[in-house]
Amino acid sequence: MIRIEMNRVGGDYGFEAKDANGHVITTDTSPESGGMNFGVRPMQMLLMALGGCSGIDVAMILKKQRQELTAFRMEISGEREAGKEPSLWKKIHVVFEMQGPHDVAKAERACELSMMKYCSVAETLRRAGAEITWEARVIA
C-alpha cells in the first residue's frame, strides 16, 4: 500500500505532501479562491503526473531500443469542463519533443505505447472521461 502524508503549512489551503521516501511537493489554490500561490494546483498536478508517467515510459522504451535521447521535453495542455463541480479534465494534449540520433519511427512508437498501453495516469484520466491526444516531434 502506498502512503502519502499531507500537512497544512501555508495559509488556509497550502499543503505539503510527503511520500514514504521523503520527497515533498506543495499544493495550494489560487489567490482568487483564497489561496496564497504557495504551491501547484491539484488539478495541474494531474497533468504533471501524466507527463512524469509518460516521460518515464518513453525514455525507458527508447533506452531498451538503444535510441539515444540528448534532450527530451514535453508540453501538456488541458481544458476542464466548464460550469461543473467537480470540473474534470475534458481535453488534454501532449507534445513530446525529443532530440538525438534516433529512429523517428521508434520515437513515435514509444510515445504511442506509453499513451495507449503503459501510462497508468493516462488511462486513469481517460476512464474519467478525458480525451487525450498527443504528437511526437523529433529533432535531429
Q: How confident is the model at residue 105 (pLDDT cuts 50, 70, 90)?
A: very high
CA distances from 27 to 60, 78, 118 (A): 29, 19, 27
Question: How do residues 28-83 score in pLDDT, each as one tens digit?
Answer: 999 999 999 999 999 999 999 999 999 999 999 999 999 999 999 999 999 999 99
- Sheet containing strand 71-80, strands side by side: 71-80, 89-99, 131-139
Is the pLDDT at 102 greater than 90, yes or no? no
pLDDT band at residue 138 using 50, 70 and 90 as cut-offs: very high
Helix, strand or coil, per DSSP, at residue 50: helix
Q: What is the pLDDT of residue 97?
A: 97
Considering the entire predicted model, what is its pTM?
0.94
Tens of pLDDT, residues 1-37: 999 999 999 999 999 999 999 999 999 999 999 999 9
pLDDT in tens, 109-130: 999 999 999 999 999 999 999 9
Q: CATH 3.30.300.20 region(s) of the chain? A: 42-139
Per-residue pLDDT, 140: 78
Beta pairing partners, 77:
93
CATH 3.65.10.10 fits 42-139, yes or no: no
